[in-house]
Structure 1
Amino acid sequence: MTTPPGFATVTPYMFAEDADALLAFLTDGLGGEVVDVVHRPDGCIANAQVRIGSACIMLSEASADWPAMPASYYLYVDNADASVARAVAAGGRLEMEVANMPYGDRQGGVRDRHGNIWWISQRLVDGPYS
């Protein structure tokens, strides 16, 4: 099996109305770095690749053939409190206050304006979930 450099075996691929705005949230709100963006002839995003930490996310403008579909993502960060605050400052809606969870994460939840939920988690223990 071969995957491109920087990609995982499973790579999230998002379709969104106003993909440019979601791309801005991924960078400004979640600290992502744009790797590449290809536009369609109409100027909309055909494919964007964004690196967030060690993960790559792909993104396209929704269309009749490929409609927008929100999802839920689990994002590990170094500081959950600061990361949730950053996501909210970039337009995300707080869904769950940051708190220590019984499974060893400090976690909060933010919904972006496209309906995706981001569970932003800071691992507090070194070990598996129990």
Structure 2
Amino acid sequence: MRIPKGFAGVSPYLFVADASDYIRFLQDAFGAAELGRSLTPDGRIANAQVQLSGTTLMISEASDGFPPSRSALYLYVDDADATTDRAVQAGAELIMEPSDMPYGDRQSGVRDPAGTIWWISQRLTDEPYF
């Protein structure tokens, strides 16, 4: 099986309204890097690849045939509190304050402008998850 560099066997693919603004949010909130994009003849994003914490997200402009999709993503970071603050400043809605969880993560939750929930987690231990 061939998988492009930067992708996993399963890679998140989001359809969002205002894809350019959404990519800017990912850059401002989480430090994402846009790898490239292809456009439709009318200039909308047909497909963009965005690198985030070693994972490539694919993003397309929503349309009648592919309406905006909502999902939840679990993002590991070095500092959950700082990343949560950055996400809120970039336009996310705080849905769960950062707190230490019994499974060894410091975690918060935000909902981004496209409706995607991000569980922002900082691993506090080297112990296995379970």
Give the structure-2-normalised TM-score: 0.97
Code of the residue aligned with 2:2 in structure 1: it is T
Query: 2:75: which partner in 1?
Result: 75
Q: Secondary structure at the match of 1:27?
A: helix
Give the secondary-structure state (helix, strand or coil) at the position aligned to 1:68: coil
Shift of 1:65: 1.1
Runs of 4+ in structure 1 displaced over 4 angstroms? none
Q: Deviations over 1:72-100 (max 9, x none)?
A: 00000000000000000000000000010
Deviation at 1:127, TM superposition (A): 2.5
Question: Where does residue 16 of structure 2 map in the other structure?
Answer: 16
Q: Figure out how many residues of one structure are paired with residues of the other and give that number.
A: 130
Tell me the SS of whatever aligns to 1:78: coil
Aligned-residue sequence identity (percent) comes to 53
Equivalent residue letter for 2:87: A
Q: Map 1:1-130 to 2 at 5 A.
A: 1-130=1-130
For structure 1, the 5+ residue unaligned runs are: none
Report the secondary structure of 2:109's partner residue.
strand
SS in 1 for 2:103: coil
